[in-house]
Chains A and B, each alone.
Chain A
Amino acid sequence: MNADTQKFSSLPPEAAEPKAAAGAFPIWVIVALAVVAYFGTVKFDESDGGFSAQVFAPYVSTKQLEDFLPKDPERIAFLEGRKLYSQNCAACHQASGLGSPGQFPPLAGSDWVKTEGPNRIIRLVLHGIQGPIKVNGLDFNNAMVPWKDNMTDQQIASVISYVRRNKDWNHTFSAVTPDQVKKIRDTEKSRTAPWSAEELLKLSDK
């Protein structure tokens, strides 16, 4: 190309500008790439620390890091209680613990929770409650299901402790132990019907 201009140039003529041909592309390169990418991702997934910004070498998972944290039984029970609450209780009583006006009574600041002992609230959770109930001066009339067959003593203790000691709700009442739950479960073994508010109020709160 451009023979006219090259004639007057002091440089020897040059080849045309390069072009790319459509040379065959071997499929095995793609296959090899896919294989390496697959095993690389698997390996990466095993050792990426779960994309956590807190995992640094030589540790490989957040679990390893948690094992280094000091163990606080009350904290662990609180976290378990929070989890159980959000799974089982928050649907009616809400995550805020305020319930729904006219339908589900509040737990946060509730005079049924703020008792000195957990005597009534354990029974209430174990067997459920039905009929009219007065909470903080407001009337409710609804039913709460029994939890005795769905939760262990440990779980009921955790969830009630969460409700009674939740700092967000300004609750600082005594925690509930699994032994307390077991004791009441054994005492009320024969009971199948839900409680009524009237029955519970006859019992001592301790």
Chain B
Amino acid sequence: MQETETTEEARRALEICNACRYCEGFCAVFPAMELRREFTTGDLSYLANLCHNCKGCYYACQYAPPHEFGLNLPQAFAELRAETYAEYAWPKPLGAVFQRNGTVVALISALGIALTLILTVLIQEPSVLYAAHEGPGAFYRVIPWWLMTTLAGGTFLYALLALAMGFRNFWRDTGSSLAGPAGPRPIATALHDILTLRNLGGGGHGCNDRDEGFSTQRRLFHHAMFYGFLLCFASTSVATFYDHIVGHPAPYPFWSLPVQLGTWGGLGLVVGTAGLIWLKVVSDQAPAARNLLGADYALLGLLCLTSLTGLLLLGLRGTGAMGVLLAIHLGIVLSLFLLLPYSKMVHGLYRSGALLRHAMERHAGHAPAGD
């Protein structure tokens, strides 16, 4: 990627860190940094995306502002990450959405809801839309099957393609592709790091979630959100299987697998996103990149709304409110799918890539000399 003021600041910070190394025990960033003496823009991108923004290094830093070195690594990395999201976006011109991502995500979400509502109203008689529906296929009486599948499937497949291309751009730009394909051991290590958020352990004692005190709240909320999201995704997958393969259309009874997965997942998402929003509100802003908070709030809000409307739909699906609620929920899901490659959501992709890269470096380091 290009040299910018942000890459220069990240490099300046890392050169101070690399001469100090007191923070070595906090997370993966510092051991990865120590393998290097000079930092290319690709290295900087890799390290910035490896950073989990736990802020341990900021509070421990003897060079943090107001010291004349003015070192604020979490902030420098957060700003650089935002630039990498724009850099790797596919197609490239859409990288511009990361400029004012909070606004973009909020607008697209609003448009998604409006569009679905308008479409629904246009194609459905009010008598159908506001009536209570029950039994198999009830949802499709409000929004036809073909529309739902085309929109959901289309946007989701597009999102997957855009994410894959983004990952390819990241992998190439950080020089990771030169390291050859990842072996099973680095993949296992990286998966472990991703699924446990090991780097939010702060060396075993938690992170500076709010201030200079240590806690594991952020890690736990993120787990609730992440596994909630996975459960919701599993719920959708099972439902798709039931509907399209088994020929057993929604809605499903409360104790069925898709509804159970979705309910628990939705609860996890609500708790996780609400908790993360709360942490952002109450936390010390000094190590944060304030201009980027909008993007965080927008995605957390969208995820929270997705699960809230889903849970509401479950609760009121037997009533006349179902039609409108379904339209709103699907509008939000549609927006979420569309925004997967163009929101803070991509952090998971590049973070995972950086963790895989780090695992590859670590395993290579353990290999015998001359290998």
Bound pair (A, B)? no
Binding site for B on A (CB under 8 A): none
Binding site for A on B (CB under 8 A): none
